[in-house]
Amino acid sequence: MSEVRTITMEVLRYRPERDSDPVLQSYRVPCPQEWVVLDALDYIKNNIDSSLSYRWSCHMAVCGSCGMMVNGEPMLACKTFLREMGDTVRVEPLLNFPIERDLVVVIDDFLEKLKSLKPYIIRKTEKPVEEGTYLQTKAQLKRFKQYTLCINCLLCYAACPQYALNTDFIGPSALALAHRYNLDSRDEGYAMRQEMVASHEGVWECSFVGACSEVCPKHVDPASAVQQMKITSTKDYFLRLLGGKR
C-alpha cells in the first residue's frame, strides 16, 4: 500500500460574530490518492475543527452545492482530486458573492435573477390532461438538451469578469437557462423572458470572454447560449423595424 502523504489545507475562515475580515487558517490533513478537496474538508470538520462551514450534498458533481475557489480557480470540491495538486492547497469561497460564513456565500442575487427569467415551461393555453403529454422529436430535444445539464453551481459567476464589474448583469447560468426554455418546442414564454434577456443587464452586457464555459463542470457552454441569444435579439430588433413580429 502506498504511503499516504500529508498536505496543508489553507482554508479561508470568516465568522461574522468574531472576525472583522476573512482570514486564512491552515490545517495538516492526510491525503489518500482517491481523495478530492471535499474529502479533506470533511476530514477537517470531523477531526480537527467542527466549526468549519461549507456547502455540499451529493458528493457526485450533481447538486452543484460545493462550488468554491481552489488555488484561485472556481471548481467543484467533490470533483477536484488532491493528487493533482501540490502539498499546499488553498480553498476560498466563490468570488463575486458576499461571504456568509467561511466557504458559504450568499446566492440570493442569482436566485432573484433566475426567478425573473421564468425558468420553466410556459403555455398560453394548457391542453386537457386527457389529451396526453406534449411530445417532442429527438431533434427538438437535441436543440436544448445541452443547457438542461446546468447544476447551478455558480462557478461561471465566479469566473465572469462582467459580473465582477457589474452585479446588475444577469449572468451566464441564468441566461443559459432562459435560452434552454426558449429553445424548448413545448414552451411559449419567449416574449415574457425577452424583456430581461435583451436588456442592458442581459445578453448585451456580456463581452464574450468565455471564462464561464471554461470552468463549467458540465460543459453547458453558457457563453455559446448568450451569443445565440444576441443573434436572436438582433433579429427581433430588425423585425420590429420592418413592422413584423416574432
User: Does 113 lie in the same domain as 73?
Assistant: no
Q: What is the pLDDT of residues 3-35, one digit of tens each?
A: 789 999 999 999 999 999 999 999 999 999 999
- pTM assigned to the model: 0.93
**Which are the contacts of 115, defined by CB distance < 8 A and separation ≥ 6?**
none
Sign of CA dihedral 206, 210, 215, 218: positive
The pLDDT value given to residue 241: 84
Where among 47, 71, 105 does a domain terminate?
105
User: Does 165 lie in the same domain as 91?
Assistant: no
pLDDT in tens, the chain (246 residues): 457 899 999 999 999 999 999 999 999 999 999 999 999 999 999 999 999 999 999 999 999 999 999 999 999 999 999 999 999 999 999 999 999 999 999 999 999 999 999 999 999 998 899 999 999 999 999 999 999 999 999 999 999 999 999 999 999 999 999 999 999 999 999 999 999 999 989 999 999 999 999 999 999 999 999 999 999 999 998 888 887 666
| CATH code for position 85 | 3.10.20.30
The pLDDT value given to residue 3: 75
The pLDDT value given to residue 107: 98
Long-range CB contacts for residues 108-112, cutoff 8 Å, separation at least 24:
109/167, 110/152, 110/154, 110/157, 110/171, 110/173, 110/174
Q: What is the domain extent for residue 223?
A: 108-241
CB atoms within 10 A of CB 38: 21
In 14-50, beta strands by DSSP E: 23-31
User: Does 127 lie in the same domain as 209?
Assistant: yes
The pLDDT value given to residue 245: 62
On whether residue 246 sits in a domain, the answer given is no
Q: Which of 43, 27, 53 is nearest to 106 (CA)?
A: 53
Measured in degrees and rounded to the nearest 5, phi and psi for residue 229 equal -70, -30
The pLDDT value given to residue 240: 82
Where among 78, 105, 132 does a domain terminate?
105
